[in-house]
Copies of this chain bind each other. A is one copy, B any other.
């Protein structure tokens, strides 16, 4: 017996067969449409990036455990991008002199992370990235939040299916230092602890807090604060309220777009103030769907200019899980609109000619590649989702006519060949 190579894709990566690809394409096309309606322009960058751009500001988990790296023949250390934000910061920095800030950009890259494959986690995923660069205005937050609402509506998700939870690292730092009395140089470690708050049991968290030097009283107080939600905002020190960009959004008419939640921290080191995550409200899927935040200094890795950014990344895996859970996945598109079928092999060229005319009007049209009996071809046409069949018969063709069959009703009619495109178009509605 011959040795065959395995047909499965590399562990944690995916093949998209046409039906799955059609769903993916439709979902993302809807998102592109919504995002472009806000004036965001699509850009793209390479899969391979210098390792250094992640080492500086991404999360330690990504750099130490999840990066796919290689060294090229010129001894350059490269990584398969695990996320898009460092790339877009690099591109913005490289073109800062000619860009009309603020700019609105989006992209749809494939990103790689060496994860243990499980529900919601793969090693290559496709991620929509949306960012605004060059503005500190809370209008950015408001627009991004509004855009997220429109994106979710574009996917036919109703507002009760998901929630946009927001926080601000500036506010959190103020909360920690003034209300929990965490020393300023420990707010980062305590924030990381809060990031794990909903994923670990209280015992574990308490132990970690103790290791960070927090007293039991502080830990108890932290727990109270984290569950206080909105009410917390009224107790905040005035200075923190003034420094927070998010606070200005929460004090505006955009308040209804979000839920304030101090548990939102986000894992990336580069976020500096606003952070947000969208969660599924379904009990089956309590995970974060996607998220983002404001990063004031990331572009500063690449140039002297101060160019703040705010944005989010939305991955296909968690998104598709969400749409599946809520029954919102679109049906795969049919293979074709029309099948043109010659009744014998000598009419193959005639069928191709008819098909060509139908395609000129934009109709997705197939002709058989191998000859089979009419009944078999009609069955295949039906299976491919064709709603109309054009049958090319010998005697008819000789007098310049074809038969057009409505595959849904079974009705058929003879038509002059020239008129076929308009008759078919009418039949398809």
Q: Give A residues with C-beta under 8 Å from B.
A: 2, 4-11, 13-18, 21-22, 24-25, 33-34, 36-39, 41-50, 52-53, 56, 68-70, 72-74, 76, 78, 80, 90-91, 93-95, 100, 102, 104-105, 110, 112, 114, 123-124, 132, 135, 137, 139-140, 142-143, 146, 150, 252-254, 301-304, 335-336, 348-349, 352, 356, 359, 362-370, 380, 383-384
Contacts and interface: CB of A to CB of B under 8 A. Distances in A.
Contacts of A13: 45-48
**Number of identical protomers:** 2
Given A4-B303, A369-B139, A369-B143, A22 B49 contact: no
B15 A94 contact: yes
Given A6-B50, A49-B10, A349 B146 contact: no
12 contacts: A5-B52, A5-B56, A7-B91, A7-B303, A14-B45, A24-B44, A37-B363, A38-B366, A46-B124, A47-B110, A48-B68, A100-B384
A69 B70 CA distance: 7
Contacts of A132: 369
B18 A335 contact: no
A244 B140 CA distance: 63
Contacts of A36: 364
A364 B37 contact: yes
Contact of A146 (B52, B352, B383): B352
A21 B7 contact: no
Contacts of A124: 46-48
B46 A335 contact: no
A151 to B, nearest CB: 12
A15 B91 contact: yes
A24 B42 CA distance: 10
A43 B18 contact: yes
Contacts of A22: 41-42
Given A6-B50, A303-B7, A137 B37 contact: no
A339 to B, nearest CB: 8
A260 to B, nearest CB: 20
Contacts of A348: 139
Contacts of A5: 50, 52-53, 56, 90, 301-302
Given A13-B47, A22-B42, A253-B349, 19 more contacts: A4-B303, A5-B302, A9-B91, A10-B48, A10-B76, A11-B74, A11-B76, A13-B46, A15-B43, A15-B94, A24-B44, A37-B364, A47-B80, A68-B72, A72-B114, A137-B369, A139-B369, A139-B370, A252-B349
What 9 A-B pairs are tightest by C-beta distance, nearest first? Answer: A7-B94, A13-B46, A18-B41, A39-B366, A16-B44, A70-B70, A37-B359, A39-B336, A139-B369
Given A39-B336, A304-B2, A150 B359 contact: yes
Nearest to A147: B359
A70 B281 CA distance: 40
Nearest to A363: B37
A164 to B, nearest CB: 17
Nearest to A46: B13
B17 A95 contact: yes
